[in-house]
Amino acid sequence: MLTFGIDRGGEMITQYISKCFGLPRDTAEQLKIQYGCATPDALTEEERSLVITVRQNDVESSTEVQVGMVTLATYINRQFSEIFRMVSDRIGRLLNEGRNSSLQLTLSAGFVITGGVAKTRGIEKLAPFINGNGNPAAVKISVGLPRGVLVDPADHVRIDSPEHAVLVGMARTCSRDTKELQNFEKEDTNPTNWRGKFSQWWNDNFA
């Protein structure tokens, strides 16, 4: 399994909406969350004809911006294409590094996306054209959710969104790394293995 993050993925989409419609960043973010769709193909027939009126008020005047659902979904889709291009570039670099090593990479199982951007409606209908050989091929997208997390019902807390999956994954990675470090430190103090013997020799002669 290959895991890595893309910085500011959701923010890229927000900034693009802001730029294209001439809206403040916070308004664009609200528009993305409330009406955003990853592809026009995921819109219903009714939504395709829907136009959202966004009112902007300042000290001297009030203006209205008309935002069509199809146009909004098209802009969001463009940024997803850019995000997947970044993913493709990252995979390409790994493949180039792997040509001189034992690294084998296949994406037949597709992508699992987590974080806030994974909550975008219709994201599972996208198919980034990337595969493990760097050749065009449709790859399945799935939304990652946290699994195996036990929560006390008395806490009234739900850990079940793609955003939570990122935090759970980071916590598990940190826990695993901590255990590995603790095991390594135990081996260092064990006088029967080579690391323990070296550590003892170093302390006797240089500490």
Identify the domain containing residue 171 by its residue range.
153-205
Q: What's the CA gap between 207 and 201, in Å, rounded?
A: 9
Q: 107 and 47 in one domain? A: yes
Whether 84 and 130 have beta carbons less than 8 Å apart is answered as yes
Contact 67, 55 (CB under 8 A): no
Residue 83: how many other CB atoms lie within 10 Å: 20
Q: Is residue 148 situated within a structural domain?
A: no
What letter would DSSP give residue 206? Answer: T
Query: How is residue 34 written in tokens?
Result: 């409330």
Q: Same domain for 161 and 132?
A: no
What is the number of other CB atoms lying within 10 angstroms of the CB of residue 189? 11
In a domain, 92, yes or no: yes
Same domain, 127 and 178: no
- CB neighbourhood size of 88 (10 A): 15
Regarding whether 183 and 86 lie in a shared domain, the answer is: no
pLDDT per position in the chain (207 positions), as tens? 666 667 778 899 999 999 999 999 999 999 999 999 999 999 999 999 999 999 887 767 778 899 999 999 999 999 998 888 887 777 777 777 765 555 555 566 677 788 788 889 998 888 665 544 445 566 777 777 777 776 666 766 677 677 676 666 666 666 665 665 566 555 555 555 555 655 665 566 555
Q: Is 1 inside any structural domain?
A: no
Please classify residue 51 by burial: count the beta carbons closer than 10 Å to its beta carbon, then call 0-12 exposed, 13-18 middle and 19+ buried: exposed
**Number of structural domains in the chain:** 2
Residue 4 is assigned to a structural domain of this protein? no
Q: What is the pTM of this model?
A: 0.67
Rounded distance, CA 57 to CA 54, Å?
Answer: 10
